[in-house]
Each structure stands twice: as structure tokens, then as C-alpha cells.
Amino acid sequence: MTRTFFNRRDGELYVENLSVAEIARREGTPLFIYSQTALRVAYDALDKAFAAVPHTICFAIKSNMNLAVVRTLVERGAGIDVTSGGELFRALQAGADPQKIVYSGVGKTDGEVDEALDAGIRFFNLESRAELGCVNARAEARGVVANITFRVNPDVDPKTHPYISTGLKNSKFGIPITEAREAYAEAKTLNSVKVVGVDCHIGSQLTDAQPFHDALLRVRALVEDLRNAGHEIQYLDCGGGLGVVYNDEEPPSPKEYARAILDAVGDLGCEIVLEPGRWITANAGIMVAEVVYEKNNGGKTYTIVDGAMTDLLRPALYQAYQHIEPVGPARGEERLVDIVGPVCESGDFLAKERPFPPVEKGDLIAVFSAGAYGFSMSSNYNGRRRAAEVLVRDERYSVVRAREGYEDLIRGENLGEGLDEELAE
Ligand code: LLP
């Protein structure tokens, strides 16, 4: 997805039919703004690309867990991919159909497994044989049967950032595909789990379709073996990972992505499950921040804004490129600047050595492609209140998460006076 729903009118940035500056002036900064239409269009494009086969698109809620965002997708028919009890709770709160929820994640706790069993999710993507034992025991104790797949690592290089590569044989995720047959055989001996499929997620922000194809060819061979061994492989969960345009990438279109997958496994008669996160949400959102100061240190210009790594961690954590523009018309010729937040970390930057026009205190900037892994990775470090989130549809918007206040920063804490009492005894 590109940034189709963010446009300029008379030099001013608009989201759908609303001025970004007007929303930001009213709601304050830093602010995440999402286009509901962009979310729908992205979801629908992916859905359409897989129309030829039975499929479920389980939105990876980790990319953007706002209830209104999730509800928007659930209303289009989306299921949800969750990785924790908290994400499961959010998915259910947003109205997701438990029968369309799949549960991935490398360290599901007993309590989380119980919650998912009680909710009646579609299946668990198991990431180890130890987890198989856990899910079987928890299901047995509840008198139910848990549907499971194993997440297998096909050992294909997704050619993306090492922090978001997951399908190599030495990664912490899933089980090596070479050990899958044994794991499935063990599952068959257990009474409270039922094998329903195979799962594979090789990484995130893939800009080439080939690794998806290569990985699934290996999975295909596994599916055939498993069927020969008497397993019913109804679902093939192909994970997420389809890349988006942050800068000048040329990721596959939904059609090309679908072709890469379906050419490999389309004729197996499985229902295809997908777990896209970024592709649906990244370019449906921006983060707006306000310029606080500009300063020159040792010949370097720093544009200091009120949005920081605590709001949008990707540049600090992955040296990721996020496109940034002034919200209003450019005030002059571009020069090279570092755009940084106020947090006490040298790693707190949004852009380094970036050509950017001159700005003045109070100007607004828009950080693009911030709808995925933006707010969902935010924190309160440095005593920062987390940003507000706004959802726009056409000429209307709704604040779908209130800006945090100081009280939110100390919720659940106390002064530890209980300790004083014990000492006094
Ligand atoms: N399924 C599983 C099992 C995953 O681990 C992930 C992402 C997804 C689906 C969704 O992947 P997507 O379609 O969004 O690429 N914070 C990083 C990305 C971490 C991705 C973790 N897993 C970033 O900002 O680039």
C-alpha cells in the first residue's frame, strides 16, 4: 500500500477530506492519524487477491491494536492473529469472531492458553514440542480438544532486517521444518489436541515475493508427507510479512504476493490463512509532531520535535527510514537535518541526515507510514504520556484513544507505605 489517502491541497496535507493541521491543532501533538478508508481499501485488495481460494485474513493485531482500527477490519470480515492474552482480549473487545482468531507466539503461558481455549479460537500455532505438551494438558483439564498447527521454519532467507527475520533454522521462532514430522507424530498420540494445519512466517517487510514462494514449496512437501502419515491438513497459515513502501521500496502487489503463494500451495485444497499486519496498517497512518526548537551543534542542525522514540520506535530500533514532510507548505530550500525527539537517548531520532526544509517553532511535521508498529510499540519512558489516536473517515474524525494524562503515568502504583507499616511492628 502506498500513501493514497494522504494528499496535498494548496500545499497543506490532508487525510481523506480533512486538514491534518486542523485535526492536530484541535487534538494536540504528538498525534497518530489513521485513514479508515485506507484500512478498508488495503484489506479489500488483499482479500480480493485471494478470492480464488478459501481464505481467512487474520490481521496481525500487533501492528496496530487500536480497538477502532481492529473493528474496522473485523467488519470487513477479518480474523485476528494474536500473540498474547492481551492481544486476544483486545481482539474480542473489538468484536472479532473467535473462530477467526489464530494464536501465534513463542511463549504462551498456561494462563494465556486457558484464555484462548475458553474463547474458542480457531487454532494455536505451536512453536515447540514443549508447548504441545502444555496445550494438550490445559485442554485435557478443561475437557476440550485444542486445534493446533506447528509453526515450521523452512530455513529461507527473507532478505529483510535481521531483527524481523524469523524463518531461519537458528531463530527462536517455530520448529525447524526437518523436525516437524516427529512433532506432528507426537501430536497424533495426544488426546486433547487435533492437528488442523501447518503454519509458517518467515519475516516481516519482505519486498521480494520469491522467499514466500520458496518457503511454501518446502512447506508443500511437508504437507504432502503429513497427509501420507494420516494427518488432516485443513489450514495452511502463510503468516504475514508483505512489505510496504516506506521510501523507494518496490514490494510485490497483492496480486503478485498471491501468485507467489498460490503457485506454491494453491492446489493443496487447504484453506489459506494469512497474518498481514504492516501491509494493512502502515500507510494508513501518520504521526504528527510539532517543532519545539531548532539548534545547531558542531555544524549539525537538529530539528527537535515533540514526537520521540517513545511514540515511534522504528528509526531508533532498526535505523528504519520513515518518510517525513512538513504538514504545511515548505518554507524554503531543503538542508540536511537530524529530526529528533526530546528523550534522553542519542538513539532518539526520527530521521538522520535528512534533506528537510526550514521550520519554525510551532510548525507541524508528518511522519508517514506510522500506522504499523508505531503506537503499538510506544512507551512511557522519560515520563512521557502516550499520544492520542484519531480515526478519519471522509470529512469526519473520531478520537479513538485519548491522550494520556499524568494520572495515567502512575496508575496502579503506590508509595510503598505498606513496607513502612511492617517495619514499625
Ligand atoms: N505473523 C507473525 C507470526 C508475526 O510474527 C508477525 C510479525 C506477523 C504475522 C505480521 O507481520 P507483518 O505482516 O506486519 O510484516 N516491529 C517490527 C516488525 C515486527 C514484526 C513481528 N512479527 C517493525 O516495526 O518493523
Residues 21 and 55 in one domain: no
Q: Is 151 in the pocket of ligand 1 (CB under 6 A)?
A: no
Domain that holds residue 67: 36-280
Identify which of 182, 231, 221, 228 has the alpha carbon closest to the alpha carbon of residue 200.
Answer: 221
Polymer length in residues for the chain: 425
DSSP state of 294: E
H-only helix segments in 204-361 = 210-228, 254-265, 278-281, 314-318
Helix axes 210-228 and 254-265, enclosed angle (nearest 10): 30
Rg of the chain taking only CA atoms, in angstroms: 23
Distances (CA, A) of 266 to 263, 274, 288, 389: 6, 13, 42, 39
Identify which of 73, 27, 2 has the alpha carbon closest to the alpha carbon of residue 400.
Answer: 27
Cis omega (within 30 of 0) for bond into 30: yes
Residue nearest to ligand 1 atom 23, measured at CA: 373
Task: Inform me whether the pLDDT recorded for 34 exceeds 90.
Answer: yes
Q: Is 218 in the pocket of ligand 1 (CB under 6 A)?
A: no
Q: Which CATH number covers residue 70? A: 3.20.20.10
Residues 175 and 291 in one domain: no
Q: Which amino acid is at 295?
A: K
Dihedral sign for Cα 4, 7, 206, 107, please. negative
Overall domain count for the chain = 2
For the CA of 151, the closest atom of ligand 1 is 3
Question: Ligand 1 centroid to 242 CA: how many Å?
Answer: 9
Query: Is 195 domain-assigned?
Result: yes
Residues 22 and 59 in one domain: no
What pLDDT, on the 0 to 100 scale, is given for residue 172? 87
Residue with cell 498525534: 31
Query: Is 424 domain-assigned?
Result: no
Burial (CB count <10 Å: 0-12, 13-18, 19+), residue 76: middle
Q: Is 63 in the pocket of ligand 1 (CB under 6 A)?
A: yes
Residues 210 and 226 in one domain: yes
Q: Is 149 in the pocket of ligand 1 (CB under 6 A)?
A: no
Residues 240 and 377 in one domain: no
Task: Inform me whether the pLDDT recorded for 88 exceeds 60.
Answer: yes
At 266-320, the pLDDT tens digits run 999 999 999 999 999 999 999 999 999 999 999 999 999 999 999 999 999 999 9
Residues 27 and 49 in one domain: no
At 186-224, the pLDDT tens digits run 999 999 999 999 999 999 999 999 999 999 999 999 999
Residues 220 and 91 in one domain: yes
Probe residue for ligand 1, chosen from 64, 278, 367 as the CB with the greatest number of ligand atoms within 8 Å = 278
Residues 238 and 306 in one domain: no
Burial (CB count <10 Å: 0-12, 13-18, 19+), residue 170: exposed
Q: Is 374 in the pocket of ligand 1 (CB under 6 A)?
A: no
Residues 359 and 388 in one domain: yes
Q: Which amino acid is at 359?
A: V
Q: Name 421's Cβ contacts closer than 8 Å, sequence gap at least 6.
A: none
Per-chain mean pLDDT for the chain: 96
Query: Is 417 domain-assigned?
Result: no
Query: Is 75 domain-assigned?
Result: yes
Residues 234 and 379 in one domain: no
Q: Is 344 a catalytic residue?
A: yes
